[in-house]
Structure 1
């Protein structure tokens, strides 16, 4: 948990500075409890929030910074029970429309014109909109891509294709793995969780022609497509991955790659700014990138994720909370990060103005690639066979948090040798079918 900061804020001055409060608003202190994930960009937000406090000298910010799986459990429990522990929560585009429909989130209806919602990239904005209203503001957004070490590829005499296949990726991983020097040809998420290992595994299953459910909501996990995808995942991590893969999520793999231990890594585009930042990455001048590989089926749903700031309806400080969320997701905040840490470090994927900036383009060779990946992301695309749900790396139903995490634990057991792939998929099939049947999806 992060240390607390205190200072002060008046609703009256907020009205003058942001236009969020009506004229004649009463003076009042506000204490905001902010729950966020321990990703690098959010840690920077916490550090820079003192600038917000200077502008609003009667606000108190209390920070709760948690590992991703723990954050999701704490926030989901709090918001579903309306306990009111948090005034601002960090949530994904998975939760926003589901929770808005449940009436758990407050809409953003008083944003000042200077916030410029039209500058938000349309796929990102649309994913946070329910019945015409925004229920989350994006802090950063991402698609997914393949990162690789250009020096290792050159040494091995291989070249990354413009559009790699998973067959090629496996061959490359075998060639550049050098375990005696702690260089692993492939790093992938192995930590169990619906938003950790299953985000990657689901995208892998999609491109191998599989899916979670058929049109009757019957689970489709014990199928040849899932077996091929999970066997690939299991084999490449055992043969070419780092030890202890089941402990590695996004942050751990980021640290491994930045420290020179990964030859390739397939994950979120948000990592690009961190890997190209010489302050944070030992291999900043040796990073190449390519699209996500494809398997047997091309053209399926594609990864789109955003970490967003939302306000629970249970918050007693909604006006103050909206003011902070607007500040932390604004153009001015991005400029503040750039002034402190350089343009390569700004939270990516949310605003067209970032990608129009000559300063950003100069230091971010991946900028155009990432912008195109987000603008063309298609989480509503078709799997090989028809499906009744939306989402590329998740299933957009409330029950998926529990289902995905349980299946993620089962898949992780194949990496540790506790279960075979066949046994894991049989168990996952049974558990998933039981969950959706109990929830009333199957007729």
Structure 2
């Protein structure tokens, strides 16, 4: 996952990282004092410069003769570049992967199995959802780097004017807040209590998971759709309730990127959007006055006082199976997984990957919302086939549009999407 940084409202810009191509020839028996090069690829916008500079200085000081070759990669085309690099005779030593990409490379046996190193990499501090994204065939193929999740970003001034004193802590309170906002702004035909596009399927995941459902389930070594269950249908139905109650003007046949929902939010006629930190940062950049009148709360659960499960998008770090500096790469990951550097990630606005201590993150409203909801986070199915779901004609998007527009009933929309999911995942 990319593009979630740029947080305003009292937090520094967030970061993402990817690893790169190695140039040394030693097989990785540790550092014997000989000159070696450890190549690290981190993604553009991932790790704050202050973090990488401190990390690489400390690592090189602790490993005389070792030079860290730090290469920053672009997200565009990275999957193809990694595919080529990982199958070469001289792959990178440490790489960053989107957490939905990890299963693909693990299944291709191009990543090093780190199951025996988990405890040495602060494994007891990993969030369960992030650990799941690293698991393939019962083995661990890396460590979580960072994550971010969606929260409800809202206008504090509009809430106050509508008589809403506290952020909603249940679905019922959320619906009640929408009704109050609509009533208080009834004279403005352009007003939207909640901007919710018809195909925001990442937000849909929260409602399905909150009902106890899922989009797909493992059946042995294969996966099949699970959208035809009563729980999944209840999640889809609540999505429609939000759309209908809010009377959102968002298109029912597009997602949050068409148009960019932060652009709509920045126009000042929208009270809420379900978004990522970078979207709030972009809205504030477009209208700096929003900085002092925006805040966030976790997506509420149907159970009062609880947060709904959220999709944890972010990155993992892994060691290519062909790295010639595997022991050094493990030492690098061990240092990066320490509290010192995880705190630096949190200070930058990210959910730290290998530390459950989010005190450095929860220093502002959106950081606190991220910290409060992350422990209840999950990831999409950990199968290489999932990439085809997102890259192709996403059945979840088609299902939402069909149901929201009335083209299909709930039963028919979920049944058709379920069949399409099963076909893609089974392939």
* TM-score strictly above 0.5: yes
Find the residue that maps to 2:69 and give its secondary structure.
strand
Corresponding residue for 1:201?
A: 204
Greater relative contact order (Cα 8 A, min sep 6): structure 1 or 2?
2
Separation in 1, partners of 2:186, 2:69? 50
Corresponding residue for 2:297?
A: 290
Corresponding residue for 1:407?
A: 395
Find the residue that maps to 2:314 and give its secondary structure.
strand
Residue number among 161, 171, 175 corresponding to 2:168 in the alignment: 161
Q: TM-score, structure 2 length as denominator?
A: 0.64
Q: CA deviation at 1:151?
A: 0.7
RMSD, aligned CA:
5.6
| 1:204-223 residue CA offsets vs partner (Å, 9 max, x unmatched) | 34446765468985654598
Residue number among 50, 63, 67 corresponding to 2:72 in the alignment: 63
Q: CA deviation at 1:346?
A: 3.8
| 1:265-296 residue CA offsets vs partner (Å, 9 max, x unmatched) | 2345x669969999997534323443423459
Find the residue that maps to 1:138 and give its secondary structure.
strand
Structure 2, gaps ≥5 residues long: 3-20, 61-65
Separation in 1, partners of 2:71, 2:321? 17
Q: CA deviation at 1:153?
A: 0.8
Change (3 A) 1:45 1:141: same
Residue number among 127, 133, 146 corresponding to 1:140 in the alignment: 146
Are the equivalent residues in 2 in contact too, given 1:186–1:263 (CA < 8 A)? yes
Change (3 A) 1:209 1:51: closer
Are the equivalent residues in 1 in contact too, given 2:337–2:354 (CA < 8 A)? no
Separation in 1, partners of 2:196, 2:85? 31
Matches within 5 A, 1:75-224: 88-92=95-99, 94=100, 96=102, 100=106, 103-108=109-114, 117=122, 120-123=125-128, 126-127=131-132, 128=134, 134-142=140-148, 144-159=150-165, 160-165=167-172, 167-168=175-176, 170-172=178-180, 174-175=182-183, 184-188=192-196, 197-207=200-210, 211-212=214-215, 217=224, 220-221=227-228
Matches within 5 A, 1:205-354: 205-207=208-210, 211-212=214-215, 217=224, 220-221=227-228, 225=234, 228-229=237-238, 231-232=240-241, 235=244, 239-241=247-249, 246=254, 248-249=256-257, 252-253=260-261, 262-267=270-275, 282-294=289-301, 302-311=309-318, 313=320, 316=323, 319=326, 322=330, 325=333, 329-334=337-342, 343=347, 345-350=348-353, 352=355, 354=357
| 1:86-114 residue CA offsets vs partner (Å, 9 max, x unmatched) | 7513222x55467546634224479799x
Separation in 2, partners of 1:207, 1:150? 26
Separation in 2, partners of 1:430, 1:274? 37
Corresponding residue for 1:384?
A: none
Q: CA deviation at 1:240?
A: 2.5
Separation in 1, partners of 2:333, 2:258? 24
Change (3 A) 1:260 1:309: farther
Q: CA deviation at 1:26?
A: 3.9
Separation in 2, partners of 1:321, 1:366? 34
Structure 1, gaps ≥5 residues long: 2-7, 15-19, 380-390
Change (3 A) 1:137 1:290: same
Count of matched residue positions in the alignment of Structure 1 and Structure 2 = 391
Separation in 2, partners of 1:27, 1:251? 51
Separation in 2, partners of 1:215, 1:53? 40
Residue number among 391, 398, 408 corresponding to 1:422 in the alignment: 408
Are the equivalent residues in 2 in contact too, given 1:164–1:294 (CA < 8 A)? yes
